[in-house]
Structure 1
Amino acid sequence: MHPKVIFFDLGGVVCRFHRQRRLAALGEACGVPPERVESELYASGLISRWDRGLDASSEIHRTIREKLGFPGNIQALQEIWCSAFEPDPDVLALAGSLRPLHTALLTDNDHLLLDALPDLFPQVASHFDALLFSCRLGATKPEPTAFTRALDLMGIAPGESVFIDDRAVNVAAARDLGIAAIHFRDAAALGAALDGLLAR
């Protein structure tokens, strides 16, 4: 197989995602328990709204100020937001080794993270030719639209791509569209799977 683009999920693949770390840090900054943060942002559906790109970073900041009493500026909020992510150096090294193939992040995340990523995680952003966040695509995985818009932005057909994700439902959705997809477990298994695909 000779793909033109390899899509990587962010949380759970390129970075380990620690949701509780974000909840605890934001709760501490606002003087409220993490359970309140969970209720106001996640259970309320706000996170899903933001992942779909319905609010810009400034509006996310304003909403968290109003709902939780966050006292800091938008940069302080971005630092807390990004604290949930822990880059996996082995996966990043693997992504870098794929050059000259094009690589892209294909992730369900909001404008707050998208705006912050190049500054707060330059070692992540620099490994990818495109940052295809759901907030830009207007759809989240496993919706077919999330994949088709990502393909359109990269100017490729489904059969010219590989998609890597830690969630089986997203992998299945990609395969249904004709995208070669790998269910991520760890960097070593991913390397072996990619070697097998690219050797075909």
Structure 2
Amino acid sequence: MIKAVIFDWGGVLIDNPAPGLIAYFASSLGVTGEAINIAYGKFAPEFQKGLISEEILWERICSELGVRKPYSPSLWTDAFREVYSPKEEMFTLASRLREKGYKVGLLSNTEVAAMNYFYEQGYDMFDATVFSCAVGARKPERRIYEITLGRLGVQPEEAIFIDDRVDFIEGAEKVGINVILFKNPEQVRKELASFSIKIT
């Protein structure tokens, strides 16, 4: 029996912020989006696991690109505020699930500035929130799924994980979690119904 539904954040509960973030950073630093993408990719694992600070990240990226460090104390926060676009229908779905007695979780590969922004919003429909930067692991690593299950107090077969990335879905499946590959809210409702979870 399903007892918990776990949501990804970027791309599921909100529009994927990555393109907007890359464009913002590129404009701020005076470089191309491709250059930012490549440079960030080198340091993303450490940054998303909370192993290096945002200050260190920009030092490394700017050194890599041969440009000056940004003036803002948190360019990431500035950019995230600019591009944040929630999918209200999905937040409503999460709330309705909780009202029906299901445990609701959030699992995200997220940087500290973005995590802080999430908490500023005051969302109250989650029983557990797991951010990669806070636990030192990220999707699709097995440990981050196990941490999420532990915080929700459920077994893998009692949970459904919703994500828009195939590799993260596959990571959850390897742990034994039921999965839904996100395409749109209506499709998610239909797939939840196949688990006998009907949300009107």
* Residue pairs, 1:1-200, within 5 angstroms: 1-3=1-3, 5-42=4-41, 45-55=42-52, 59-64=53-58, 67=62, 68-74=68-74, 77-100=76-99, 101-119=102-120, 122=121, 125-199=123-197
Distance 2:5 2:184 in 1: 17
Question: Aligned partner of 1:69: which letter?
Answer: K
Distance 1:81 1:47 in 2: 16
Distance 2:124 2:44 in 1: 26
TM-score (norm 1): 0.82
Shift of 1:8: 0.3
Question: Aligned partner of 1:164: which letter?
Answer: I
In structure 2, the CA distance between the partners of 1:31 and 1:168, relative to structure 1 (3 Å rule), is closer
- C-alpha offsets along residues 125-157 of structure 1, whole Å, 9 cap, x if unaligned? 333232211122322222211211211222222
- C-alpha offsets along residues 11-47 of structure 1, whole Å, 9 cap, x if unaligned? 12111114231122122223333333223322xx211
Distance 1:21 1:38 in 2: 12
Shift of 1:71: 0.8
Question: Aligned partner of 2:77: which letter?
Answer: Q
Contact persistence 1:9–1:165 (CA under 8 A): yes
TM-score (norm 2): 0.82
In structure 2, the CA distance between the partners of 1:102 and 1:82, relative to structure 1 (3 Å rule), is farther
Unaligned runs of 5+ in 2: 63-67
Structure 1 residue ranges, 4+ long, deviating more than 4 angstroms after superposition: none
Give the fraction of aligned pairs with identical amino acids, expressed as a percent: 24
Question: Aligned partner of 2:89: which letter?
Answer: D
